[in-house]
């Protein structure tokens, strides 16, 4: 069950041109929360201090594990789903105020930048010299953050989008490529070529990428490795850990602890 996510200030105008940067903290209760598909003029950084957030844009799904952020350029349609008990921050940045990518991407968040975002959100209504200084430093530091990636490419192609929606709803579905091809009225070879053309990945690698996104989100929300392994349909915990380690270089616990300790530097493609 998901509930709509709301801002602490009902009259907040995130597109206010007078503010070069606005940081808003949102604490999620014990139920998942969602911001439906929308867009705004300003670019947005979605940053998770605790729990996880999944951002969806027309070209893919992006995972925001703790201590990392996803940058969404201004004008791009997107939606956000946060895990229960997440602590997230939305940072809205005026176009041209900082040299940031023109595409959606994941950014490592340094300890300094993390503290700047927290402090700026606490001073939401402070437009004095202190607030201006925080914004200036934030706009200087953010473009320096390394660009990382952990996302699921999604195509606007209707059949592939249908498969992505089904797998997102039930990531434990272990249907074969042939079975999926039959569901969308394609031959197995045609579906394999379509997935490769639209995403740059094989079907197996594409589905594994979805599993990684879901796994990190659920682990960040407090689920155990055993629970996540079962939710994703793995026959054993060992099989799940082997997949995770092969893809990301570390077993789940070390991967997440590395992110928390290093401010995102452990976040790899």
Q: How far, CA to CA in Å, does 256 sit from each of 32, 187, 250, 260?
A: 20, 40, 9, 6
Q: Return the beta strands (E) in the chain as ranges.
A: 2-4, 21-27, 32-38, 43-50, 53-57, 60-64, 68-72, 78-82, 87-93, 105-108, 147-148, 151-153
Average pLDDT score over residue span 220-227: 87
For 47, the 3-state DSSP assignment is strand
Longest dimension (CA), the chain: 64
pLDDT at 90: 93
pLDDT at 182: 96
pLDDT at 138: 95
- Percent of the chain at pLDDT exceeding 90: 44
Q: Model-level pTM greater than 0.85?
A: no
Among 103-107, 124-128, 253-257, 263-267, top mean pLDDT goes to 103-107
Quick one: pLDDT band at residue 251, thresholds 50, 70, 90? Answer: very high
The rounded distance, in Å, linking the Cα atoms of 202 and 205 is: 5
Quick one: pLDDT band at residue 9, thresholds 50, 70, 90? Answer: low
More confident residue, 4 or 50: 50
For 91, the 3-state DSSP assignment is strand
The rounded distance, in Å, linking the Cα atoms of 232 and 241 is: 12
């Amino acid at each position: 069950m998901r509930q709509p996510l709301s801002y602490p200030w009902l009259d907040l105008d995130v597109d206010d041109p007078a503010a070069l940067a606005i940081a808003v903290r949102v604490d999620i209760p014990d139920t998942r929360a969602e911001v439906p598909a929308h867009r705004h003029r300003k670019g947005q950084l979605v940053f998770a201090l605790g729990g996880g957030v999944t951002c969806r844009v027309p070209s893919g799904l992006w995972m925001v594990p703790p201590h990392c952020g996803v940058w969404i350029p201004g004008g791009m349609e997107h939606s956000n789903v946060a895990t229960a008990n997440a602590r997230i921050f939305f940072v809205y940045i005026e176009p041209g105020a900082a040299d940031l990518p023109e595409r959606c991407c994941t950014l490592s968040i340094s300890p300094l930048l993390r503290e700047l975002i927290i402090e700026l959100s606490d001073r939401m209504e402070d437009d004095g010299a202190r607030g201006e200084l925080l914004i200036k430093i934030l706009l200087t530091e953010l473009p320096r953050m390394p660009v990382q990636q952990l996302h699921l490419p999604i195509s606007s192609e209707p059949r592939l989008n249908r498969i992505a929606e089904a797998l997102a709803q039930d990531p434990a579905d272990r249907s074969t490529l042939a079975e999926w091809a039959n569901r969308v009225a394609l031959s197995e070879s045609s579906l394999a070529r379509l997935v490769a053309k639209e995403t740059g990945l094989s079907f197996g690698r594409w589905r594994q990428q979805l599993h990684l996104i879901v796994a990190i989100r659920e682990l960040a929300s407090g689920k155990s490795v055993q629970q996540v392994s079962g939710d994703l349909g793995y026959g054993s915990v060992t099989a799940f850990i082997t997949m995770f380690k092969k893809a990301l270089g570390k077993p789940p616990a070390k991967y997440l602890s590395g992110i928390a300790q290093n401010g995102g530097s452990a976040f790899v493609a």
